[in-house]
């Protein structure tokens, strides 16, 4: 069973090997979640909703061999499959390294695994850190750049692109842009993500719900002039930034319909600007490898829009002829595949300590 908690949903998938037997996206109203001060406070609420899915589908959890959850904010880790243990759960419950809905993935998987005396795992959590030393330098010694990104989907689509090229992931250079409610653009250099924008903390292109790299001086002045506290300030970056700030909605499909009708000047310029920023960030990541790019991958929910993707491709096609578009993010299947590789000893099962 694969469990992927998102900001306003929990995705559940039941697999027999790689075959999806049943799945559901349990959606929550934001009003239901706002009453919980911390992410961990949502645990019982989400477990009840998952239990309803289990009962509705007559699932006998004692027959589940393995549970896997989306990996959340932990200490910086190398890419791979990790067995969940008490130390990992303690760090996530405490939110020792940060608050994020994905923190609940391992906690939920572990709770079921303990109850039924099975094993549980995470694969390529958001804290996968393979940055080169030079990429960690921010410009001020008090603040170091960190690696937080859509590692699970990025690693999977990078390996798919490598296969399409007839090459090994460890032998090529790719730039991968995950385009969803948040956007992460990463340089995959010979099998390692050596540079990537922090997808939450205010780096990179703006996104449906995130502001990306705001001008820092202007951001600080706004905070002080409006007497905002930390939570209010951070919500400008995460949750209430980007398209949500410009339009009061982060419904990308609705905004793209307006864009394609070409009747709303504001929609036109903001969507163009988002594609422009994504393109600019992709191009900038070709510099660390002197332009030696074997391919570019565009993935995530926004990649379903051919109109939007073509805006980006028209700006970046000078970098390479190998541009791959993998719409959406099949993270549940990716997690199931990770377990199969681990139990069959095709990849190492790593320990968290």
Angle of helix 252-261 relative to helix 306-316, nearest 10 degrees?
80
Q: Is the pLDDT of residue 95 over 90?
A: yes
pLDDT at 199: 86
Residue 343 tokens, joined: 């139990």
Is-contact 77 127, C-beta < 8 A? yes
- What is the radius of gyration, based on Cα positions, of the chain? 20
Count CB atoms within 10 A of the CB of residue 170: 11
- What pTM did the predictor assign? 0.94
pLDDT at 84: 98
Residues 79 and 64: their CA atoms lie apart, in Å, by 25
Task: For residue 176, name the pLDDT band (cuts at 50, 70, 90).
Answer: very high
How many residues in total does the chain contain?
A: 353
Among the residue ranges 27-31, 259-263, 316-320, the one predicted with the least confidence is 27-31
pLDDT at 342: 97
Task: For residues 238-250, give the mean pLDDT.
Answer: 96
Task: For residue 34, name the pLDDT band (cuts at 50, 70, 90).
Answer: confident
pLDDT at 230: 95
Tokens 């959406």 — which residue?
328
Return mean pLDDT, the chain: 96
Task: For residues 27-44, give the mean pLDDT.
Answer: 91
Residue 335 tokens, joined: 């997690």
pLDDT at 336: 97
Q: Name the CA dihedral angle for 149, 255, 278, 180, rounded to a multiple of 10 degrees.
A: 20
| Paired residues of 327 in beta bridges | 300
- Map out the domains of the chain with their CATH numbers: 2-128+331-350 (3.30.420.40), 151-327 (3.30.420.40)
Task: For residues 184-203, give the mean pLDDT.
Answer: 96
pLDDT at 78: 96
Count CB atoms within 10 A of the CB of residue 338: 25
Task: For residue 7, name the pLDDT band (cuts at 50, 70, 90).
Answer: confident
pLDDT at 49: 94
pLDDT at 31: 83
Phi, psi values for residue 309, rounded to 5°: -60, -40
pLDDT at 30: 79
Q: What is the DSSP letter of 348?
A: P
Which strands make up the sheet holding 323-327, listed edge to edge?
A: 192-196, 183-189, 173-179, 295-300, 323-327
Q: Is the pLDDT of residue 8 over 90?
A: no
The percent of residues in the chain predicted with pLDDT above 90, rounded, is: 95
Per-residue pLDDT reduced to its tens digit, 258-312: 999 999 999 999 999 999 999 999 999 999 999 999 999 999 999 999 999 999 9
pLDDT at 206: 98
The percent of residues in the chain predicted with pLDDT above 70, rounded, is: 100
pLDDT at 32: 87
């Amino acid at each position: 069973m694969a469990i992927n908690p998102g900001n306003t949903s929990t995705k559940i998938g039941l697999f027999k090997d790689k075959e999806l037997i049943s799945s559901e996206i349990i959606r929550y109203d934001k009003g239901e979640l706002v009453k919980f001060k911390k992410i961990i406070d949502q645990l019982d609420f989400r477990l009840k909703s998952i239990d309803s899915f289990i009962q509705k589908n007559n699932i006998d959890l004692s027959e589940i061999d393995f549970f896997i959850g989306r990996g959340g904010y932990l200490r910086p880790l190398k890419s791979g499959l990790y067995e969940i243990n008490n130390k990992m759960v303690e760090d996530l419950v405490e939110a020792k390294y940060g608050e994020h809905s994905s923190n609940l993935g391992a906690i939920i998987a572990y709770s079921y695994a303990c109850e039924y005396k099975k094993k549980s795992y995470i694969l390529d959590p958001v804290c996968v850190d393979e940055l080169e030393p030079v990429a960690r330098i921010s410009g001020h010694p008090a603040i170091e750049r960190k690696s937080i990104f859509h590692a699970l989907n990025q690693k999977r689509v990078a390996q798919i692109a490598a296969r399409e090229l007839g090459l090994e992931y460890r032998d090529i250079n790719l730039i991968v842009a995950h385009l969803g409610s948040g956007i992460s653009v990463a340089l995959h250099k010979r099998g390692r993500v050596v540079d990537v924008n922090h997808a939450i903390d205010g780096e990179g292109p703006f996104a449906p719900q995130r502001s990306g790299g705001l001008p820092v001086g202007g951001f600080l002045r706004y905070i002080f002039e409006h007497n905002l506290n930390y939570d209010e300030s951070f919500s400008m970056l995460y949750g209430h930034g980007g398209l949500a700030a410009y339009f009061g909605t982060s419904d990308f499909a609705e905004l793209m319909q307006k864009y394609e009708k070409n009747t709303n000047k504001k929609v036109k310029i903001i969507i163009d600007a988002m594609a422009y920023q994504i393109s600019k960030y992709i191009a900038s990541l070709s510099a660390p490898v002197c332009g030696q790019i074997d391919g570019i991958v565009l993935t995530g929910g926004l990649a379903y829009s051919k109109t939007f993707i073509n805006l980006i491709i028209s700006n970046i096609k000078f970098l390479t002829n190998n541009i791959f578009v993998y719409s959406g993010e099949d993270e549940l299947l990716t997690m199931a595949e990770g377990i199969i590789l681990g139990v069959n000893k095709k990849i190492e099962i790593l320990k968290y300590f």
